Chain A
Amino acid sequence: MNKQLLIILIFLGAVLVSIIVGPAQLTSEIFQLRISRVVLGIFAGGMLAFCGGILQGLFGNPLVEPYTLGSASGAALGGSIGILIFGTINPVFAFLGSLGVGFFVFTIARIEGGLFRDRLILAGVVMSFLCSSLVMITMLMGGRELYEILYLLMGYLGIIINSTNRIMIIVLIAVSIGLMVFLYRYHRELDIISQGIETAAGLGINIQKLSITIFLATSLLIGLIVSIVGAIGFVGLVIPHISKLLFGPKHLRNLPASFILGATFLLLADTASRVITVYELPVGVVTSLVGVPFFIYLYRR
């Protein structure tokens, strides 16, 4: 009980800190700017950590993260192709990239032999590699677009919000909240699968169907996130571990905790990225810089 209250308090603290701390004086305009940044931070950090938690639960593999299944790399690829064509990021392209690669992974994994669940990981990793080299090609082809692709790959919350993209972002966030609620409903099945596949199958869970559902829903969700803020790393891999360390293996509790911890962490990292220099650092750089020492400390305890 105490722990839950504590992380919520820390989360609220992080929100407050990221609204108050920054290079400029807090005026109503700056307030608007920071609020939109906070919303993006909670959205991206929370969702990524949540997806990570779900996927690690489903695959029973601590190394799986949103990027392992290829959908994030696909979104990055789609996004960078969009940048090359239109000169600026087009969320639709990122989203299509994520879906396209997700579909490929799915098709490769369906080729017979072995367990579908394990083949998904393998296919995802392979497709991720393919996507990274294709992204490299788009980077080589781009001149001025290089910066934009780079920031898309590292993720960055300081995007300009104007009348054209405001509504779209709100809709995308609403859709992803829906997807998250949908995924959260599977927490019991995930608990059982964590005990072992045989047990789960014995209890009548259709692992094949569950894998497909979760795979598709998370691919969608990750595509949405990357199309808005870029491919922010580290959060989706490590935050679920921290959440499990603190709240145990039950997904009913550690998934919401992952969301809150991920949001808190990304908000703090973003605040740091704003304060360290006058330049705008991509938040993806800061997440690993701050996160790794913290994780090592927590793990050694």
Chain B
Amino acid sequence: MEISEQLRKICTTSLIFVLCISYLVCHCNRAKETTDYRIVSLSPAMTEILFALGSGNNIVGVTTFCDYPEEAKKIYKIGDFSNPSVERIVGLKPNLVILNLPEQMRIKKQLERLKINIFVSSPSSLDEVYEEITEIGKIVKREHNADSLVNYMRTNIVPVENKKKTNVYIELSPRPIVTIGKHSFLNELLELAGAGNVFADLNKDYPVVSQEEIIKRNPEIIILLHPENIEQRTGWGTIAAVKNKRVYADINQDYIMRPAPRLVKGFKELKRIILE
């Protein structure tokens, strides 16, 4: 009597178990059918580009940093920008994983070993941004959209005629003080907007600099990408930008820090600040 009771229990549990599994399998299969291309984007900028190209619904995994457009927030998260989980990526069975270098070197090596198709994004100039858009457009078969996006960006980001190059200092973070050097595309964007980066001579993308260097280079405009009232800083009073009250902290940093379509907006903002 008792044995059959137990047997029934085992049968029911295993039945439920099997049902669950089959539901999961079916569910996965359905997901596979709806999309032909499965992309995991570890680059917030590339996520924006893919959505702009109309391939947003092919993205099956993103990082927690991918917060634009709104739809991107709903996509399955495979970790953050610097620590994506390889297991989660592999679990999504992607046809393509988009990576940022040099930050995601480790992941790149691991994915290569697993023979997963990758696309590397590491633009250091606007031209490279355009090239990457064209390339990814070819891969997701949206060449036409890619061309018009590049066109849109090219026509909106054009050099401003400014005889006198205004000296600009951009501060990414205050402790340590991080700014932009020669190898950041932001440097190029600034020059196009009719300004010069005071640290354009530094052979790095995001160098750590000292307060003295900044005071010595005496920028006419200061752009802060973090909220702080810098007029109170000891020793900063003689800087031209502080004296003339040309310190700006109202720019959305995603507009200018992400090599994506919103650079157009960022460029407009920069122009507004510089030509004010």
Contact = CB atoms under 8 A, between A and B. Distances in A.
B175 A159 contact: yes
A228 B78 CA distance: 36
A25 B233 CA distance: 19
A280 interface: yes
Interface string A62-89: 0000000000000000000000000111
Contact of B178 (A89, A147, A156, A282): A147
B123 interface: no
A23 interface: yes
Interface string A274-301: 1000111010000000000000000000
Interface in B215-238: 215-216, 226, 228-230, 232-238
A282 to B, nearest CB: 8
Interface in A141-163: 141-144, 146-148, 151, 156, 158-163
A164 interface: yes
A8 interface: no
Interface in B223-268: 226, 228-230, 232-238
Nearest to B65: A143
A279 B233 contact: no
Contact of B210 (A23, A36, A87): A23
Given A143-B65, A146-B82, A162 B212 contact: no
Contact of A279 (B65, B207, B234): B207
Contact of A156 (B80, B176, B228): B176
A151 B213 contact: no
A188 interface: no
A22 interface: yes
A49 B81 CA distance: 40
B35 interface: no
A166 B204 CA distance: 32
B211 interface: yes
30 contacts: A23-B212, A23-B216, A24-B216, A27-B238, A29-B236, A29-B237, A30-B215, A32-B234, A33-B212, A36-B235, A140-B82, A141-B83, A143-B80, A144-B172, A144-B173, A146-B82, A147-B176, A147-B178, A148-B176, A151-B208, A160-B177, A160-B211, A160-B233, A162-B233, A164-B232, A274-B212, A279-B208, A279-B209, A279-B210, A280-B210
Contacts of B236: 29
A83 to B, nearest CB: 9
B251 to A, nearest CB: 17
Contact of A158 (B176, B229, B230): B176
A143 B209 CA distance: 20
B202 interface: yes
A151 B209 contact: no
Interface string A174-200: 000000000000000000000000000
Contacts of A29: 215, 235-238
A191 B101 CA distance: 58
Contacts of A36: 234-235
Interface SS of chain A = loop
B23 to A, nearest CB: 34
A55 B207 CA distance: 38
Interface string A253-289: 0000000000000000000001000111010000000
B174 interface: yes
B142 to A, nearest CB: 30
Contacts of A164: 232
Contacts of B228: 162
Interface of A: 22-25, 27, 29-30, 32-34, 36, 87-89, 140-144, 146-148, 151, 156, 158-164, 166, 274, 278-280, 282
A25 to B, nearest CB: 7
A88 B178 contact: no
A33 B215 contact: yes
Contacts of B174: 88, 160
Interface in B135-175: 172-175
B250 to A, nearest CB: 18
Given A160-B233, A161-B233, A162-B230, A33 B178 contact: no
Contact of A24 (B173, B215, B229, B237): B215
Contacts of A279: 202, 204, 207-210
Given A23-B210, A156-B176, A143 B234 contact: no
Given A33-B215, A148-B175, 20 more contacts: A22-B212, A23-B216, A29-B238, A30-B215, A32-B234, A33-B234, A36-B234, A143-B80, A143-B82, A148-B173, A148-B176, A151-B175, A162-B229, A166-B234, A274-B210, A278-B207, A278-B209, A280-B177, A280-B208, A280-B213
